[in-house]
Amino acid sequence: MIKLGVLCSGRGTDLQSIIDAIADGKLNAEIAVVLTDKPNVMALERAQKAQIKNLCIDRKKFDSKADFETALLNELKAAGVDLVILAGFMRILSPSFVHEYKERIMNIHPSLLPSFPGAHAHRDVLAYGVKISGCTVHFVDEGTDSGPIIMQAAVEVKDDDTEETLAARVLEQEHIIYPKAIQLYVEGKLEIVGRKVISTP
């Protein structure tokens, strides 16, 4: 069984979609550990409720990013994690961390990459005035939101959307495609060829 290590920063609804997909038998994986970079966030409560090992590695308690990432890596390795899942984890991982789990880190981003990378995707989408947005599951490389794309889903942007209404519409799709993308990985169906991901039938 593939062991997942899920990294979160907040509310944890993407985490919940993975917990639920496993419970429903749609995702054949085990969440070995949930780690957060902040204390007292809902993601920890969700993990607790599902009886999954969970731990806050509080970024504020570390002098450097390197020390913080070493602590994360130690926990992931101790839990025997095969695939790292970034689920609303609002920090950029350094190249050395990415190398440790090369081609074994997935992220979900709330826009149709390569449009609107970064921390304020919905705000940027609304400011630009695009008519379609969505979400993207991708492998993490050394850049920001730049790795090979695994799966995307589109949603309409409405004239009266706010960041909140758009985020809610996109989240519905996130909760569908993230577990599916992880299941493809579990089935060994994702092949990275250059910057493309080919999903074999």
Contact pick of 5, 110, 134, 147 for ligand GAR (by CB under 6 A): 110
Give the range of 32-40, 106-114, 154-162, 191-199 binding ligand GAR by CB under 6 A.
106-114
Q: Indicate the pairing of strand 190-193 with strand 149-156.
A: unpaired
Contact pick of 46, 109, 138, 169 for ligand GAR (by CB under 6 A): 109
Among candidate residues 40, 38, 9, 2, the one with its CA nearest the CA of residue 179? 2
Distance from C-alpha of 51 to C-alpha of 45, rounded to nearest angstrom: 10
Site string for ligand GAR, 40-79 (x = CB under 6 A): ----------------------------------------
Contact criterion met (CB below 8 Å) for 50 and 123 = no
Distances (CA, A) of 85 to 31, 81, 131, 133: 10, 10, 29, 22
Residue 152 binds ligand GAR, judged by CB under 6 A: no
In this structure, the number of other CB atoms found within 10 A of the CB of residue 159 comes to 6
Min dist. Cβ of residue 188 to ligand GAR (A): 25
* Lookup: tokens for 117: 């990378």
Contact criterion met (CB below 8 Å) for 60 and 54 = no
Residue 134 binds ligand GAR, judged by CB under 6 A: no
Contact pick of 11, 53, 65, 104 for ligand GAR (by CB under 6 A): 11
Would residue 122 show up in a list of annotated catalytic residues for this protein? no
| 93 DSSP assignment | P
Contacts (CB under 6 A) with ligand GAR, residues 161-190:
171, 174
Residue 141 binds ligand GAR, judged by CB under 6 A: no
Residue 137 binds ligand GAR, judged by CB under 6 A: no
Residue 149 binds ligand GAR, judged by CB under 6 A: no
φ, ψ for residue 153, nearest 5 deg: -140, 145
Min dist. Cβ of residue 178 to ligand GAR (A): 9
* Alpha carbon 125 to chain centroid, angstroms: 20
Contact residues for ligand GAR (CB under 6 A)?
Answer: 8, 10-15, 87-88, 90, 108-110, 119, 171, 174
Enzyme catalytic residues = 109
